[in-house]
Structure formats: C-alpha cells, structure tokens
Structure 1
Amino acid sequence: MSDTDHGQVADAAKGNWVDNLAPAATRPFLRLSRADRPIGTWLLLLPCWWALGAATLMQGQFTAGHLWIGVGSAIGAWLMRGAGCTWNDITDRKFDAEVARTRSRPIPSGQVSVGGAIAWMVVQSLLAFGILLTFTWTAIWLGIASLALVCIYPFAKRFTWWPQIFLGLAFNWGAILIWAAVTSEVGLAPVLLYVAGIFWTLFYDTIYAHQDTEDDALIGVKSTARLFGNDTARWLRWFIILSVLFFAAGLILALGATANPLQLTIALGGVWAFGWHMTWQLKRLDIEDSDRCLMLFRSNRNAGLLPVLFLAVAHFV
C-alpha cells in the first residue's frame, strides 16, 4: 500500500510523530500545518531567536519576561507557520494536484475540504494572535502588518521569478517583531538582521525549489531555481556572502556600544559558523539530486541554530 493510501505526505520524514502518534482524526489537519515536517517552523523561529539573543545581550540581561518571549515566539512560529501553510495549500491546491511531490497533500488528496482548511487556518491564527497580545504594542502592530506578506506569498510564483524574496520577507519578519517585543522599538540593527535572513531564505529555498523544477516548468510556476538553472551555485555563493555581511553588521551595530569585546567576538563567531555551514551545503549541492536538495534544505535548521548558540554563550561572558 502506498504512502498516500495511508494519508502520509510524500516529502514528510518516514516515521514522523503525526503519522505514528497523533489521533487519526487530527492527522489531516496536522499534515496541512506541516507538523510532520517541522523544518519550516524552525526556519520561521530562528530569526526571532537571533533578535532575542542580540537584543537581550545589548540590554545586558535576560529576564523571565525575555524567556516568555522566546517560548511564545516558538509557539507562535508553530501556529503561524501552520496557518501560513494552510493558506498556501488552499491557494495552491490546483497546482499541488499536478506536482508529484505535492499531490499527496491533504487538500488535493481529499483528506481535508477547502472549507475545513479555512476553519483550521482561522483557529491557528487566533491562537497565535492570543500569544502576540502578550508582547509590546509595537510588536503587536508589527505582527498584524505581517499578515499582508503571508497573504501575498502564495501568489508570488505566478507573477515573478523571485517568489523566494516574498517568502524571505514573510519568514524573517520575526527578527523585527521580537526585537520590538524586547526593546519596544525598531532600529537599524534588527532591520539588518532581517535582511540577512532574507538572503538566507533565498539560499535555502532555492535549494528546496530545485526538487520541483521539471514539474514547475510544465505547469508554469516560477522560482529562482528555474531562473538560475545551472548557474545556481554562483547565485547561492552571493547569498551566503550577503547574509553573513548583513548579519555581522546588525550585531556590530547592536552590540558594539554595549557588549564587551569578548561578547561581540563570540556573537560574530556565530555568524562565521552560520556562513561556514552554508558553504558546507553549497559544496555538497547537486541540483539534479532531489533527495540531496531536501537533505541540505533541512540542514538549515542547524545553520540557523549556530548563531543562537553563540549568542547564548556570549550571555555568560
């Protein structure tokens, strides 16, 4: 019996907790939220934790309130990633039915109706809004503003070869939002972290999109993977350089006047490790190997965690 006969999604990790442990009635909705593929939640969350680490290091303290911001951003990332994916699958249901990797998703495979998906999206969004209300007013308004980016992204592949930019704008918004949750303001430093995240998204999502280039060409879906083609490695190298430069500039601006030199050095060491990991990925990339592309894409959880770990260490210096 095939994976889709059991309702499993083709590109989900085998043996994931949704397929094995979740109550049967909840599985289609959890699959709609990509709970069986947690990498997206990590990629949405990590820029939040970059900002949290940098902002609290700048302030010279990490309080219980900051701990809640870290936990709340994790729960919120899970919920909003789920709501965003649900919206994406609603708008892309006809495209998904035409692509081998995505036709097993809950809507095109008939596990969830469009009406059911809309209701589930609203539930997730309201729960996330409840968490957002515990942050500062600046962060609340930034969270509301982010909905425009979430709504636009699924349509980007229809009108631009650069839909990954729109994904980057949406996925890294947490860097600005969480900075505002900590400091009650927005400055240039979090904007630089945000831009670093956008170039990171261009890097990892181009790798991800190389899994679908043939199907995307047949149905007319645009992507940077199709645009770059065999020139992908050169573009990715530039995305690494720009992501690292903007990340380092953001940390220097945030910490240069407040953190001691050792703390700043450790924080910048995390940026170096982040760039090293992306370089490691690039050396192993084979755009003709879908399994390799998926493996490298998923490894960006570790890439994004490296700056978080270095920022955490810097707090103890």
Structure 2
Amino acid sequence: MLNKILEFGHLVRFSHSLFALPFALGSMWVAANGFRGMEPAEIAKMVLLILGCMVTARNSAMSFNRLADAEIDAKNPRTAGRHLPAGRMSKKAVVTFIAFNGALFVAFAYMLQPLAGALALPVWLLLLSYSYWKRFSWLCHWFLGFAIGMSPLGAWIAVRGEFAVFPIFLMFILMLWMGGFDIIYATQDEEIDREMGLHSVPARFGRKRALQIAFWSHVAMLALCVTFGFVWHMGIAWWAVTALMIAAITYIHLFRKSDDLDKMNRDFFLANVAVSVLVMIGLVVWICLGGDVNALY
C-alpha cells in the first residue's frame, strides 16, 4: 500500500507542490487577517480544507498531464521512463486517481464557501486543459503559470467568499514567475518538441532567445512585486523580500557560470521554492506587523 502511495506521489511530482503552496498559504493568511478572532477548530478546518483543495487539484492536473502526454513521453528519451510509457502504472489506475482527486477537490471547495464550491468544477476542468496547450500555442508556459497562479486567488475566495484585486495581483506574479521557469525547463526538450511539432518557446525561438524571454518574464514578475508593495503599502518586510528575489533572479539569470541544463534546472527549482517561501513570509510578516486586510478594500 505504501509503495503504491509513493508511486502516485512520484507520478505527480509531489515535491513541486512547494512552488505554489506558499503563495496560497500567504494569501489565506492575509484573507483571514492572521486568523484574528477565530476559534482554533475553525482555523484547523479552514487550513486543512484549503490544503486538501491544493493537493487534490494538483494531483488531478499533474496525473492528467501524464495521461495526456503518455505517447509523447514514450518518444522522448528524457521522459520515456515515466510511469505510463514505461508500463509501471496502468491508464485505468491513473484515470481513477484523477477522478478521485477531482471529486475530493469539488467536495472540499463546497465545504469552504458557496462561491468556492460553485467555481470548483470549472476551475478543475481549466486545470486539466493546460496539458493540451503545447499542442497549439507557445503561450503554453504562461497558461501553466496561470493555472498554478489561481491558487492564491482560490485560497482568498475560500476564506472570504469573494473576488478581490489583491489576490489577483498575486496570481499574476505567480503566473509570470512559473511561466518563465517552465520555459527554462522546456529547453531540455527543444529538439524533440520541434521534431514532434509541439509548440514551446524553445522550439519556436531557440534556446538562447527562450532564456532571454524567461528572463523578461521574471523581470515583469519583479515589476509586479514592486507595484504590489507600493499599491498596498506592504512595508519593510515586503521590500526586504523583493530585494532578495531580485538578487536571486539576477544571479541565476546573469551571473551563474555553468551552462549545464541539468544544473540550471536544479538552480531554478531551488529558486522556485525560495521565491514562493519569501512571498509567503512577506505576506505573513505584513499582517503580523499590523497590516489589516480590511484596509485593502
């Protein structure tokens, strides 16, 4: 049983949850105003249900991606060893896993807020659809970023039951960051994508220009972070976080010496986790230092 759970965890690359989860938790913290005045049982229920939505939505999307790309992965030496093309897992098992996680995602959302429940199924279908974007548009990287970026907006709605500009800003920050990272990740498959007629920024523009586009996507993300800080008067903690993000992105894009793709992707994996955690810290500290969610309206 444990081995089966570990297999599914590896199928969906569970460790990559660290990219979006801190954004969602930071958004939840702000939306709940630091949980001021809330009972412990109420806090526990909210946190567990939001975590449940995050995990099940991602499980569904990642496993559907593996299912949709099974034939493509089989033709790519880098991905031929994945569960489905290698025969380590059946399509029936993956379909069951997708359906199970989708049902849990919708159920958890309904238990949080009426609006969250009403949006759950359309959002779930949108999350699944990202798997097909590479078949017709090189904008697929930013659509993936948008799909992941919905997590802080979803966490906000789960707490407050309404839309707001604040989490939408967070959504676009995460979209630009993840879009740029996905372009860098896709440089590994530049040639095979081109051969198979798949659309990606590296396949369309070549590796050198792709890395430049990724850089400018991250510059745009940092510009939004600066705007975010000014618009909502986020204080010194946010500016410290932004400065660290600028330093990390500047180093990785402009000053890292190695041209090895494996090392580059490992560096950006670590940077992904660092940026997400830094954003969460900035949001949490802002509320702890007296920031008030009610002042955002």
- TM-score interval, smaller chain: 0.7 to 0.9
Alignment of 1:65-214 (within 5 A): 65-66=42-43, 68-214=45-191
Q: Which runs of 5+ in 1 are unaligned?
A: 1-21, 257-262
- Secondary structure of the equivalent of 1:220? coil
Comparing 24-33 with 220-229, greater Cα deviation is found at 24-33
Q: What count of residue pairs does the alignment treat as equivalent?
A: 285
Alignment of 1:1-317 (within 5 A): 23-35=2-14, 38-39=15-16, 41-57=17-33, 61=36, 63=38, 64=40, 65-66=42-43, 68-228=45-205, 229-253=207-231, 255-256=232-233, 264-283=235-254, 289-299=260-270, 300-317=272-289
**Cα shift at 1:102:** 1.1
**Cα shift at 1:251:** 4.9
Percent identity over paired residues: 20
CA distance in 2, matches of 1:28, 1:97: 18
CA gap of 1:62–1:251, structure 2 versus 1, over 3 A, is: farther
**Cα shift at 1:78:** 2.4
Query: Counterpart of 1:246 in structure 2: which amino acid?
Result: L
- Secondary structure of the equivalent of 1:180? helix
Are the counterparts in 2 of residues 44 and 172 from structure 1 also a CA contact under 8 Å? yes
CA distances 1:144-191 after superposition (whole Å, capped 9, x unpaired): 331232122111101011211210121111121111122221122221
CA gap of 1:279–1:227, structure 2 versus 1, over 3 A, is: farther
**Cα shift at 1:252:** 4.4
Are the counterparts in 1 of residues 134 and 198 from structure 2 also a CA contact under 8 Å? yes
Comparing 103-112 with 214-223, greater Cα deviation is found at 214-223
Are the counterparts in 1 of residues 134 and 140 from structure 2 also a CA contact under 8 Å? yes
CA distances 1:255-290 after superposition (whole Å, capped 9, x unpaired): 44xxxxxx6332333233233322232135679522
CA gap of 1:132–1:80, structure 2 versus 1, over 3 A, is: same
CA distance in 2, matches of 1:187, 1:90: 35
Query: Counterpart of 1:61 in structure 2: which amino acid?
Result: R
CA distance in 2, matches of 1:280, 1:71: 36
Are the counterparts in 2 of residues 29 and 112 from structure 1 also a CA contact under 8 Å? no
Query: Counterpart of 2:125 in structure 1: which amino acid?
Result: A
Provide TM-score, normalisation by structure 1: 0.80
CA gap of 1:101–1:287, structure 2 versus 1, over 3 A, is: farther
CA gap of 1:71–1:242, structure 2 versus 1, over 3 A, is: farther
Q: Which runs of 5+ in 2 are unaligned?
A: 290-297
CA distance in 1, matches of 2:9, 2:162: 35
CA distance in 2, matches of 1:209, 1:62: 46
CA gap of 1:113–1:233, structure 2 versus 1, over 3 A, is: closer
- Secondary structure of the equivalent of 1:134? helix
CA gap of 1:181–1:24, structure 2 versus 1, over 3 A, is: closer
CA gap of 1:121–1:88, structure 2 versus 1, over 3 A, is: same
Comparing 140-149 with 91-100, greater Cα deviation is found at 140-149
Are the counterparts in 1 of residues 57 and 102 from structure 2 also a CA contact under 8 Å? yes
CA distance in 1, matches of 2:140, 2:193: 13
Are the counterparts in 2 of residues 251 and 267 from structure 1 also a CA contact under 8 Å? yes
Comparing 277-286 with 43-52, greater Cα deviation is found at 277-286
CA distances 1:7-40 after superposition (whole Å, capped 9, x unpaired): xxxxxxxxxxxxxxx73344433332223xx12x
CA gap of 1:209–1:276, structure 2 versus 1, over 3 A, is: same
Structure with greater proportional helix content: 2
Query: Counterpart of 1:29 in structure 2: which amino acid?
Result: F
CA gap of 1:307–1:25, structure 2 versus 1, over 3 A, is: closer
Query: Counterpart of 2:68 in structure 1: which amino acid?
Result: T
CA gap of 1:170–1:226, structure 2 versus 1, over 3 A, is: same
Query: Counterpart of 1:196 in structure 2: which amino acid?
Result: I
